[in-house]
Amino acid sequence: MRSTRRHLLGGGLAAVLPGLPAAASAQAAGTDTRPVLRIGVADLPPTLEPAKELSNVGTRITYSVFDTLIRRDFLSSPDGGGARLVPHLATAWRREGDRDLLVTLRPGVRFHNGDTLAAEDVVFTFGRMMGDQPLLVEAKSYFPTLESVTAEGPLAVRFRTRVPDILLEQRLASWCSWIVNKRAYEELGLQGFGQAPVGTGPYRLRSLRRDQAIVLDAFDDYWMGRPTARAVEFRGIPQVAGRTAALLAGDIDLATNIPPDQVEELQGRSGIDLRSVVLANVHVLVFDQRGAGLSDKRVRQALGLAIDRELLVRTLWNGAALVPHSHNFPEYGDMYLPGRSLRYDPDRARALLREAGYDGTEITYRTQANYYTNALPAAQVLVEMWKAVGVNVRLQVVENAAQLRPAAGGQISNWSNSTRLPDPLGAIWIGWGPGSTPQVSKSWTSTAAFNRAGHALEAETDPARRRALFATMLDAWEDEAPGTILYQPAELYAVRSNIRWRPYTFYFMDLRPDNLSFA
């Protein structure tokens, strides 16, 4: 029988999935010899609605709760980049004309509540992002070309785009494409579903306690095979020293967001491995052009020119991070633009400040201390670099993301952008386009040239014209300077040696049976 109730416990701070009574769970754990994987993380998401919680800390967890139709094959890629697409919840897909993609679903896939995956679940998943739901505005920007999603039988779905979209298959394998259970979502609504999510992934939610822990239990009916851990505990441990101490004491098995200055403490420790990967992600700064001192783009340009990024990489990352060639990455393939760079030119920065008539107005730089690895040390160095060219910047450490960017006049704040698709439309366009945080919040309003080129790129299929449009976008972004890139960070994990697990170039933690086992 299909479950018809959901229970929210603890006033919404703890959610328990139906079909997993506490007594039954405890009894099962008593006879289950699989280990519990305990992971120490810097922060936990407030919701597990996969199209709303698109943060680094959110996708780390939702990747194990939900599946996509098509999967990026990270495991066969030497660098963990995952460019090749392979079947997942879909067994096959084919183009029909230049605007239609027909997808065939895998039969017999179970949701955590016992429902069987059907075309209606897929139609609902994408339909909820195509409407006017304001809480999913960022998710909607991942599918700007989507016109309709319709069922063509119980296990077939047709995706139709309003213009030819050469990236549609990549979109279906990327962020926001995690398939949700239609019946559970309609019963609970957006907010309730985020506290009691129902997916098809290898693990299902047992409890969600904000700022404490999120616990997942193995979903033994998982279509890829029985998960190798009986449960996974994501424990919120904000301080790096706390995560390191918990690992050394045996309280956790894996610690995330380990900065390079902790390598000496952990390297050579018996039973502990350090595993690192350069992320398909860049740490960036947002320059709010409404803020005092930042309305003139020459000041914003000067802030970027004053940054010695190579020095930051050497001193803060021990050379493990990378300075990219602007918002422009080799994984774009033919769309990569050679010859670009992030300039360090303090003399030019001083000249621009003089031209702009900058009068020493104090500019506030807000950062969280622990959300991004090395965020606070980088901020402290940046303030000195800006001081060296004559910019008066005051550092303010805030407690949460909501405090980073006030409603108006947020000035400078830190952020990150991920390369969701191997194309500019999956990176700079999602990060800075019409549905992005900077444009929606109005911290960047001088967007006409950038948006015009980006909209044209969505519909363009000719490789040469696509490259030209991307160059126009990048020129406009660099000229208006709504922000700047610092570097591609290296994500370092400290892991018990008996755990066979490989990190990817995203913050996804893949805990499926083919990427997690225990010696």
The CATH number given to whatever domain includes residue 495 is 3.40.190.10
Residues 299 and 393 in one domain: yes
Q: How confident is the model at residue 419 (pLDDT cuts 50, 70, 90)?
A: very high
Which of 71-85, 242-256, 404-418 is least confident? Answer: 71-85
* Closest to 85 in 3D by CA, of 174, 163, 214, 194: 174
Residues 293 and 408 in one domain: yes
User: For residue 408, what pLDDT is reported?
Assistant: 61
Residues 165 and 227 in one domain: no
User: For residue 5, what pLDDT is reported?
Assistant: 31
Summarize pLDDT for 322-345 with one digit per residue, the tens. Answer: 999 999 999 898 999 999 999 999
Q: What is the pTM of this model?
A: 0.85
Q: How confident is the model at residue 507 (pLDDT cuts 50, 70, 90)?
A: confident
Can you give the residue range of the structural domain that contains 502? 37-66+201-274+491-518
Residues 324 and 307 in one domain: yes
Q: Which residues of 236-246 are buried (b: 16+ CB within 10 A; e: fewer)?
A: bbbebebbbbb
User: For residue 224, what pLDDT is reported?
Assistant: 97
Q: 1 pLDDT exceeds 90?
A: no
Q: Identify the bridge partners of residue 93 per DSSP, sorted by sequence position.
A: 103
User: For residue 163, what pLDDT is reported?
Assistant: 94
Supply 7's token pair: 């229970």
Among 150, 182, 214, give the residue marking a domain's end. Answer: 182
Q: How confident is the model at residue 435 (pLDDT cuts 50, 70, 90)?
A: confident
Residues 388 and 471 in one domain: yes
Residues 213 and 225 in one domain: yes
In a domain, 187, yes or no: no
In a domain, 447, yes or no: yes
The kind and range of the H/E element at 220 are none
Among 135, 152, 182, give the residue marking a domain's end. Answer: 182
**What single DSSP character describes residue 403?**
G
Q: How confident is the model at residue 82 (pLDDT cuts 50, 70, 90)?
A: low
Summarize pLDDT for 461-475 with one digit per residue, the tens. Answer: 999 999 999 999 999
Residues 294 and 418 in one domain: yes
Higher pLDDT pick, 220 / 23:
220
What integer is the mean pLDDT of 290-306? Answer: 95
CATH at residue 94: 3.90.76.10
CATH at residue 393: 3.10.105.10
Residues 79 and 137 in one domain: yes
In a domain, 164, yes or no: yes
User: For residue 16, what pLDDT is reported?
Assistant: 40
Please report where in the chains the tokens 């907010």 appear, as a residue: 191
Residues 250 and 370 in one domain: no
Q: Identify the bridge partners of residue 232 per DSSP, sorted by sequence position.
A: 37, 216
Among 182, 217, 244, give the residue marking a domain's end. Answer: 182
Residues 340 and 270 in one domain: no
Supply 139's token pair: 């998710």
In a domain, 193, yes or no: no
Q: How confident is the model at residue 29 (pLDDT cuts 50, 70, 90)?
A: low
What integer is the mean pLDDT of 286-307? Answer: 95
**Average pLDDT score, the chain:** 90
User: For residue 225, what pLDDT is reported?
Assistant: 97
* Closest to 355 in 3D by CA, of 275, 437, 298: 298
- Determine what percent of the chain is predicted with pLDDT higher than 70: 92
In a domain, 191, yes or no: no
Q: How many domains are there within the chain?
A: 3
User: For residue 196, what pLDDT is reported?
Assistant: 98
Q: 182 pLDDT exceeds 50?
A: yes
State phi, psi for 315 to the nearest 5 degrees: -85, -35
Supply 250's token pair: 């045996």
Supply 188's token pair: 């609970």
Which of 20-24, 280-284, 438-442 is least confident? Answer: 20-24
In a domain, 21, yes or no: no
Supply 13's token pair: 């701070």
Higher pLDDT pick, 239 / 136:
239
Which of 76-85, 167-176, 221-230, 251-260 is least confident? Answer: 76-85
Residue length, the chain?
519
Q: How confident is the model at residue 2 (pLDDT cuts 50, 70, 90)?
A: very low
Please report where in the chains the tokens 């407690």 appear, as a residue: 399
The distance of Cα 369 from the centroid of its chain, to the nearest Å, equals: 19
Residues 84 and 228 in one domain: no
Q: 247 pLDDT exceeds 80?
A: yes
Q: Identify the bridge partners of residue 493 per DSSP, sorted by sequence position.
A: 275
In a domain, 19, yes or no: no
Summarize pLDDT for 147-164 with one digit per residue, the tens. Answer: 999 999 999 999 999 999
Taking the C-alpha atoms of residue 501 and residue 61, their distance in angstroms, rounded to an integer, is 15
Summarize pLDDT for 344-380 with one digit per residue, the tens. Answer: 999 999 999 999 999 999 999 999 887 899 999 999 9
What integer is the mean pLDDT of 195-224? Answer: 97
Q: 459 pLDDT exceeds 70?
A: yes
User: For residue 197, what pLDDT is reported?
Assistant: 98
Q: 126 pLDDT exceeds 70?
A: yes
What are the distances in angstroms from CA 143 to CA 130, 171, 274?
Answer: 8, 7, 37
Is 267 strand, coil or helix? coil
The CA R_g of the chain, rounded to the nearest whole Å, is: 23
How many C-beta atoms lie closer than 10 Å to residue 104's C-beta? 18
Residues 504 and 386 in one domain: no
Angle of helix 463-480 relative to helix 448-459, nearest 10 degrees, comes to 160
In a domain, 7, yes or no: no
Is 510 strand, coil or helix? coil
Strand order from edge to edge, sheet including 254-255 = 203-209, 213-218, 231-236, 36-41, 254-255, 490-496, 272-278
Q: 30 pLDDT exceeds 70?
A: no
Q: 76 pLDDT exceeds 90?
A: no
User: For residue 23, what pLDDT is reported?
Assistant: 37
Q: How confident is the model at residue 483 (pLDDT cuts 50, 70, 90)?
A: very high
Taking the C-alpha atoms of residue 372 and residue 321, their distance in angstroms, rounded to an integer, is 13
Supply 260's token pair: 């390079």
> With contact defined as beta carbons under 8 Å apart, do 508 and 60 qualify?
yes
Taking the C-alpha atoms of residue 38 and residue 35, their distance in angstroms, rounded to an integer, is 9
Strands 231-236 and 499-501: unpaired
User: For residue 80, what pLDDT is reported?
Assistant: 55
> With contact defined as beta carbons under 8 Å apart, do 490 and 282 qualify?
no
Instruction: Say which residues have a Cβ less than 8 Å from residue 289's Cβ, sequence separation at least 6.
Output: 295, 297, 300, 443, 444, 445, 446, 482
Alpha helices in 206-273 (DSSP H): 240-248, 263-266
